[in-house]
Amino acid sequence: MRSTSPRLLPLFAIASAMAFALIAASCARSIEARTEFVIGTLCRIDLQDQGSDAAYREIFARLRSIEEAMSANKDGTELDAVNRAAGIAPVAVGADMMAVAVKAVRYAELTDGAFDPTVGPLVKLWNIGTPEARVPSAEEIAAALKLIGWRDLVVDEKAGTLFLKKPGMRLDFGAIAKGYAADAVAEILARRRIKRAVVDLGGNVLVYGKKKDGSPWRVGVQDPSGLRGSHIGIVRIEAKTLVTSGVYERFFEEDGRRYHHILSTRDGYPVSNGLISVTIVADKSVDADALSTSAFALGWEKGKALVESIPGAEAIFVWDDLTVRATPGIKKDFALSDERYRIVD
């Protein structure tokens, strides 16, 4: 529909936007939370103090630049360049890519490869989360497994390059990039001296600062057996991040079987150890993200040991028989609310 005075409209829009900005500024009140689809997921940023258009714009621009560096589903990203040069030559990457690569290799080392950023060929083969998802043949899986191995990822921090030694190798930062992005948002909040905010990058949640009334934030732990949005319990946290990896996030079903997106680097199939989700609470979101996938892949014993080796990190494991186990440090701050589940020691 066209206005009778189209040239006046933009002016009016600007004037009213300015008026709104002024009112907002004069009351020192935050403007509403904003949600955008970026880094492959819905990202909701809620600046509860000093929220401004400029702050939101800076945050989403930062998220877009991270996506442009390390998206696995886009041509022209730095990650894509590294993958294309596999077996050929090292590729210069930016500081974000380098930082994520260093962290990812660290977790690969800590998990003895259960978490592996070179899992790309397997992710591509299964295509879970896309309409092309299908169960690959045993031969295809064997071929993909041959290309996986974090020791063949050469991270040269001095030169600022990444190199995949074998042709056909592919990096995939899907298990860690969202956490890194959440920490990057927290850096902007600190620089802008924003006192409180909630950063939710597709379920990768970071609570920043203290709530206005001084009480801890209450963050729901997603129900891995149910619908998106429902939760099995609440964790009370302050200045922490909460990240869940689960079978409900991305999956497809074939012949009555569910195939989810956390893949075993040993056998090439979705990890099948009875777990349906692992939630991590930690100081840094990059650690929480890497740990949630790592602990899921490792299972309870090894996963718990790994989590406990990272200062400030805690975990809540959930199994398909609806039992729940938590690390001792989180028990007092975790309240189960869904009576179908039960906490065991």
The footprint of Mg ion (CB under 5 A) covers 175, 245, 289, 292-293
Q: By rule CB under 6 A, what string of x and - marks binding of each residue 44-83 to ligand ADP?
A: ----------------------------------------
For ligand ADP, the closer CB: 62 or 124: 124
Q: Does 249 bind ligand ADP (CB under 6 A)?
A: yes
- How far is it, in rounded angstroms, from Cα 190 to Cα 192? 5
- The window from 12-20, 63-71, 162-170, 262-270 that contacts ligand ADP (CB under 6 A) reads 262-270
Which of the listed partners (ligand ADP, Mg ion, none) does 119 bind, with a CB threshold of 5 to 8 Å by partner kind? ligand ADP
The CA dihedral of 39, 257, 272, 282, to the nearest 10 degrees, is 30
For ligand ADP, the closer CB: 115 or 196: 115
- The window from 4-12, 173-181, 316-324, 331-339 that contacts ligand ADP (CB under 6 A) reads 173-181
- How far is it, in rounded angstroms, from Cα 235 to Cα 281? 9
Binding ligand ADP (rule: CB under 6 A), the pick from 78, 96, 172, 183 is: 172
Q: Determine the angle formed by the axes of helices 285-298 and 177-191, rounding to 10 degrees.
A: 160
- How far is it, in rounded angstroms, from Cα 289 to Cα 182? 10
For the segment 217-236, give every residue that binds ligand ADP (CB under 6 A).
none
Instruction: Quickly list DSSP for 289-304.
Output: HHHHHHHHHH-HHHHH
Q: Which residue has the tokens 């440090």?
A: 329
Binding ligand ADP (rule: CB under 6 A), the pick from 121, 149, 174, 224 is: 174
- Residues with Cβ within 8 Å of residue 224, at least 6 apart in sequence: 232, 244, 246, 247, 248, 276, 277, 318
Q: Are 279 and 272 in contact (CB under 8 A)?
A: no
SS3 22: helix
Residue of minimal Cβ distance to Mg ion: 293
Instruction: Quickly list DSSP for 88-109.
Output: T--EE--HHHHHHHHHHHHHHH
Which of the listed partners (ligand ADP, Mg ion, none) does 263 bind, with a CB threshold of 5 to 8 Å by partner kind? ligand ADP
Q: How far is the CB of 108 from ligand ADP (least distance, A)?
A: 8
Which of the listed partners (ligand ADP, Mg ion, none) does 78 bind, with a CB threshold of 5 to 8 Å by partner kind? none
For Mg ion, the closer CB: 222 or 292: 292
Q: How far is the CB of 73 from ligand ADP (least distance, A)?
A: 10
- How far is it, in rounded angstroms, from Cα 158 to Cα 135? 41
Q: How far is CA 33 from the centre of its chain?
A: 20
Q: Does 149 bind ligand ADP (CB under 6 A)?
A: no
Can you give the binding site for ligand ADP, defined by CB under 6 A? 115-116, 119, 123, 172, 174-175, 178, 245, 249-250, 261-263, 265, 289, 292-293, 297
